[in-house]
Each structure stands twice: as C-alpha cells, then as structure tokens.
Amino acid sequence: MTTAIDASTVAFIDALPKVELHVHLVGSASIATVLELSRRHPGSGVPTTEEELRSFYTFRDFPHFARVYRAVNQLVREPEDVATLVLGLARDLAPQGARYVELQVTPYAHHVVGMPMREVTEALDLAARRSLAEHGVEMAYIFDIPGEYGEEAAKITVEHALQEPPAALVGFGIGGIEQERPKYRDAYRSAFSAARAAGLHSVPHGGEMSGPETIWEVIEGYGAERIGHGINCLADPRLVAHLRDTQLPLDVCPTSNVCTGQIAHIEDHPLPRMLEEGLYVTLNSDDPPMFATTLADEYRVAAEVFRFGKSELAQLARNGVRASYMAEDRKRSMLTEIDGLLAGA
C-alpha cells in the first residue's frame, strides 16, 4: 500500500546528494531526445509522436523491452548523438541532487552502425568534460556486452575497452537477456578476465530475469565486484549468506523491475527483504524515461511504498557512494554532506 510522504521527506529526498550507478546510455534518453532522433531518422520503427512513443514504452515483458531498446538504439548513428545522450542525462540528473554517474555504454551497438571506436571515445570524453563543467555531474563509464549477441559482441566490447578506452572508463559489464548467456560462457568469461587484468572493475548484470544460478556465474565466472539487479538472490539461502558475508553490492532498480515484468507489483518488490537480510543494496533508475521514473523518484518510491524514513533513505545514498568507483576524497566529501543533511533533518 502506497502512503503519501510529508513535505519534509520530499524536501529531504530532493536535497539528498546522490550517485547513479545503474543507468544505460540509450535508456537514459528523454522523450524529447528520442522524438528528435526518430524524426531525424524516419522509417526506424520508433514513433515520431509523443503519444505513440509513450505507448511504445509500455512493456509487456523483458524480451519486449529488449526489442524496444534495440529499436531506440538504432537511432544513435553518429558520435554527436552519443555525446548528446550523455549531456542530456547530466542535465536531467543535476536537479535531482546527483553528483556522480556510472553510465553503461554498449560499444557493440555503435560498432554495428559503423561508428569508429576512436570517434565514440572522443564523444564520450567530450561529454564527460562538459557534464562536469556545465552541470556539476561527474560522468564515469562502464562498457557492457549485450549478452544475447555472443562472441563477436564480447570481442568488440573488450577490444574497445582495452584499445580505445575513454578516460573515465571504470568498469566492464554485461546486460541483455540472461538466458542467452550459457551458450557463450567461455567467451564472456574470457572477456571479463581480460578486462579485469587491465584494471577495470567487474560490474555485470545478474539475477534480474533468471535465478540464482546467473548470480553465482557472475560471481564465480566474471569476478563480479558489484552486481546489477540481483533481485532473485533470495531464492537461494546459500547465495544470500554469501552476499551478506561479502557485502557484495547489488544495484537495485525497483520501477524497472515492474515495468519489464520481473515483479508483478511494486509492493511485491524484494528490496525491503534484501535489506532485512543484511544485503548491500544501492538504489538506481536503469532506463528512467523508458520507465517514466527518475533517480529521485526511486527514493520517493522507497519512502511511499516501502515506508523508509530519512535514515533509511540516507543509508541507501551512502551505500551508493561507497559502492561507486569515484575518488576516495570525493566519497568522503559526499558522505559528510549526507550525514550533515540527516543530522539537520
């Protein structure tokens, strides 16, 4: 049952310094940006009116979401489009109190439309500099493999990460349809091994649309240091114990899980139980415009639906800061600011 939150809590959420650790480049595109691109590239299959686009974003299940995501991704055809998406995200996040973002970029998607690695990297570098200068948002990047595309996608992603990395590249991941991964197991393990050897952090998706076995695979096979989603971990008590003992962070995106059909109703989301089990959870938006949400909205959901108070909301914000790969001095500064805000609340 949803409970209205008071003005004091709304103000607290708005003022709370935040990080966004799980958001995708294409999925971050606002309705206005997607309309601009779809009108620029007619015949793409992506609607060119706002009403049709909002209907297009009503997802039946994860495979349907993946098809819609691919269609929108095909609108990103030039390096300038990549930079526009990054800057649009920084612009959208700054008023929400976001200071730092780890943005998931899928190099393979840009490769298949003919963008050279160097040009994509230059666009990402330019956008990171402008995001900080113009919006006060520090942008870091995670390169992720689209998991249903197999060996070629793994090869292209790791080559880009190792040969032409943007300056702010911090991590290596994998997304897409989890059920497709087993057939490419060796290729994916090899790609993560190479990325980790080069100093990149392992931040794969796991346990979003499949069970605990996928989470075990990213832990044991990919050396996961942080996991995207992980919501199905509760089905395996041994896994829960491992996650609790290691405090391996799980980047949770409640509204996303409902919109893609992984959770039937927001009230049924396992986030509260995950916290009760002592798991390390961060709060994120995933693909915010596609799911009609924002990072700040996810904190409001936590307050309205899960009835988290200011101390619980502050702890989620702290978790995000500590689980991030930003510089340690910046972490300390943000944590001090969060503590000060809570003390004065």
Q: Which residues, at least 6 apart from 294, have a Cβ–Cβ distance to it below 8 Å?
A: 92, 96, 285, 288
Name the band, by pLDDT with cuts 50, 70 and 90, for residue 99: very high
Q: Is residue 31 part of a domain?
A: yes
Q: What is the CATH number of the domain that holds 109?
A: 3.20.20.140
Q: Is residue 1 part of a domain?
A: no
| Better-predicted residue by pLDDT, 290 or 240 | 240
| Better-predicted residue by pLDDT, 65 or 260 | 260
| Pair 304, 4: CB distance under 8 Å | yes
Closest to 302 in 3D by CA, of 286, 324, 282? 282
Q: Is residue 212 part of a domain?
A: yes
**Residue 284 and residue 97: Cα distance in Å, rounded?**
13
What local confidence, expressed as pLDDT, does residue 78 receive?
87
Q: Is 42 left (phi over 0), alpha (psi -120 to 50) or beta?
A: beta
* Of 82-96, 183-197, 231-245, the least confident: 82-96
| Pair 34, 75: CB distance under 8 Å | yes
Q: State which residues form the domain around 168.
A: 7-343
**pLDDT tens, residue by residue, 291-343:** 889 999 999 999 999 999 999 999 999 999 999 999 999 999 999 999 999 99
- Within 10 A of 320 (CB to CB), how many other CB atoms are there? 27
Residue 256 has pLDDT above 90, yes or no: yes
**Residue 283 and residue 279: Cα distance in Å, rounded?**
13
- Within 10 A of 56 (CB to CB), how many other CB atoms are there? 18
**pLDDT tens, residue by residue, 38-80:** 888 887 788 888 888 888 878 777 788 778 778 887 888 889 8
Place of tokens 């942080």: 226
Residue 1 has pLDDT above 70, yes or no: no
**pLDDT tens, residue by residue, 116-126:** 999 999 999 99
**pLDDT tens, residue by residue, 137-176:** 999 999 999 999 999 999 999 999 999 999 999 999 999 9
Q: Is residue 2 part of a domain?
A: no
Number of compact structural domains in the chain: 1
**Residue 55 and residue 337: Cα distance in Å, rounded?**
40
**Residue 161 and residue 194: Cα distance in Å, rounded?**
10
Share of the chain above pLDDT 70, in %: 99
Active site residues: 208
**Residue 151 and residue 158: Cα distance in Å, rounded?**
11
As given in the structure block, the two tokens for residue 290 are 């596609």
Q: Is residue 225 part of a domain?
A: yes
| Pair 98, 19: CB distance under 8 Å | yes
Instruction: Indicate the average pLDDT of the chain.
Output: 94
What is the average pLDDT across 212-231?
A: 98
As given in the structure block, the two tokens for residue 30 are 């606002």
Q: Roughly what angle, to the nearest 10 degrees, separates helices 117-135 and 79-93?
A: 30
What local confidence, expressed as pLDDT, does residue 109 receive?
92
